[in-house]
Amino acid sequence: MSTVDAVINFQGRRLTLSAPGLEQHFAALWLRERAPDGETLDARTGQRLIEAAELPLDLAIESAAVEGRTLRIGFSDGHRTAFAIDDLIVEARPPRSESQGAAGDGHQLWDAGLPHLPEADFAAALDDDRALLALLEDLQRYGFVRVVGVPGEEDGMQALIDRIGPLRRTNWGGIADVKSVANAYDLTMTQRGLEPHTDNPYRDPIPGYIWLHCLSNAAAGGDSTLVDGFMAARRLQREDPAAFDCLTRLSPGFRYVDATTQLESEGPLIELDSHGRLARVRFSNRTERVAAYDAETLERYYAARQRFHGLITDPALTVHLKLAPGEMLIMDNYRLLHGRTAYQLEGGVRHLRQGYVDRDTTASRRQVLRRALGATSSANDAAVSRAATQGGPVR
CB 142 within 8 A of CB 384: no
- Note the pLDDT of residue 242: 98
Q: In angstroms, rounded to a whole number, what is the distance separating the alpha carbons of residues 207 and 276?
A: 22
Q: In angstroms, rounded to a whole number, what is the distance separating the alpha carbons of residues 16 and 14?
A: 7
Among 1-10, 93-102, 187-196, whose mean pLDDT is lowest? Answer: 93-102
Q: For domain 119-389, which CATH number applies: 2.40.440.10, 2.40.50.420, 3.40.50.2300, 3.60.130.10?
A: 3.60.130.10
Q: Is the pLDDT of residue 218 over 70?
A: no
Q: Is the pLDDT of residue 59 over 60?
A: yes
Coil, strand or helix at 61: strand
Coil, strand or helix at 19: strand
- Note the pLDDT of residue 9: 86
- Choose between 178 and 205: higher pLDDT: 205
In 20-103, DSSP assigns E strands to: 22-27, 61-67, 70-75, 80-84
In the chain, DSSP finds a helix count (H) and a strand count (E) of 10, 24
Write the Ramachandran bin of 389: left for phi over 0, alpha for psi from -120 to 50, otherwise beta: alpha
Whole-structure pTM value? 0.84
- Note the pLDDT of residue 378: 44
Neighbours of 168 (CB within 10 A): 19
Structural domain boundaries in the chain: 3-91, 119-389
Q: Is the pLDDT of residue 69 over 80?
A: yes
Q: pLDDT band for position 279 (50/70/90)?
A: very high
Neighbours of 218 (CB within 10 A): 14
Class (C level, CATH) for 3-91: alpha beta
| Dihedral sign from CA coordinates of 132, 135, 137, 139 | negative
- Residue 45 CA: distances (Å) to CA of 36, 42, 53: 12, 6, 20
Among 6-15, 125-134, 201-210, whose mean pLDDT is lowest? Answer: 6-15
Q: pLDDT band for position 346 (50/70/90)?
A: low
Q: pLDDT band for position 133 (50/70/90)?
A: very high
| Residue type for position 23 | E
Q: In angstroms, rounded to a whole number, what is the distance separating the alpha carbons of residues 31 and 37?
A: 12
CATH topology match: 3-91 vs 119-389? no
3-state DSSP helix/strand/coil % of the chain, to nearest 5? 30, 30, 40
**In 92-156, which ranges are continuous DSSP H helix?**
122-127, 129-142
Q: pLDDT band for position 392 (50/70/90)?
A: very low
